[in-house]
Amino acid sequence: MTADHASSPFDLQDRVVIVTGGAVGIGKIYSERLAELGAHVVIADIAADAGDALAKSIVSNRGSAISVATDIADPIATDAMAEAALKAFGKIDALVNNASLMSTLPRRSWLEIPLEEWDRVMQVNLRGLFLCCRSVVPHMKARKKGKIVNIASTRVFEGTPNRLHYTTSKGGVLAFTRALAREVGEDNITVNCIAPGLTLSETQLASSSQSYLANSYDQGRAFVRPQVPADLVGALLFLLTDASDFMTGQTLVVDGGRVMH
């Protein structure tokens, strides 16, 4: 590594980054790209087999990664996630709160949402966010630096119907991001958010009909093409590096210019 590279504000070399939901879908793309750029990636996913396979693939390609089976709604599991990162790499530089319950949710009227489904979405998408931060922030605080990136959705700005519980939970992610940013700022920890538009991840493709996806491409975007997971990587990398050190409590909308936020 050259001296110029080491001093770059966009450098991720040897940063330890936890990616929840990092084994599949958009999270898998995040994990792979971070490893390619020299980060040590902790793949925290309830899909343990997929996480193990991805970590093995990253290591075989000379990257650095471990897989930790993690149910983010379980405080014991999120504490174990943080401890596994510390045991493997000695520190935690960043947390990407990517895991959420979405692709398995039927699109239906809010009046048809079962109460237990509503509760489960909130348990994963908000309680899980809270628990992951609670498990990781003390270790960042001890080092007086850290990066937290939460993943919301442009559904919050558009009021997209038919998954009211999911949309509501992502609104909570925005509020959580802003409030936590003020609580941890004195410890030099940044807390920011990315709000993606409809993204053609493997999980989105598996859970959506072709007619739904076809009708969703023309959404008044400035860029008239489908959004893919790679479109989100640049914003994530910026928020994880020193280049964004004086930015906190903010939400970056990445949707090809439909919601100009």
pTM passes above 0.85 = yes
For residue 88, give the DSSP letter: H
Query: What are the two backbone dihedrals, phi and then psi, of residue 93, each rounded to the nearest 5 degrees?
Result: -90, -35
Question: Which of 30, 166, 212, 217 is the catalytic position?
Answer: 166
Integer Cα distance of 126 and 5 in angstroms: 37
List, in order, residues 6 or more apart from 168 with CB less than 8 Å away. Answer: 122
| Fold topology of 10-253 | Rossmann fold (3.40.50)
Integer Cα distance of 24 and 104 in angstroms: 14
Give the residue among 207, 214, 221 at the shortest CA–CA distance from 258. 221
Q: Respond yes or no: is residue 166 known to be catalytic.
A: yes
Q: Return the pLDDT at 2.
A: 44
Count of CB atoms situated within 10 Å of the CB of 72: 28
Residue by residue, pLDDT tens for the chain (261 residues) are 444 445 689 999 999 999 999 999 999 999 999 999 999 999 999 999 999 999 999 999 999 999 999 999 999 999 999 999 999 999 999 999 999 998 789 989 999 999 999 999 999 999 999 999 999 999 999 999 999 999 999 999 999 899 999 999 999 999 999 999 999 999 999 999 999 988 775 555 455 455 555 555 556 889 888 889 899 999 999 999 999 999 999 999 999 898 887
Domain boundaries, the chain: 10-253
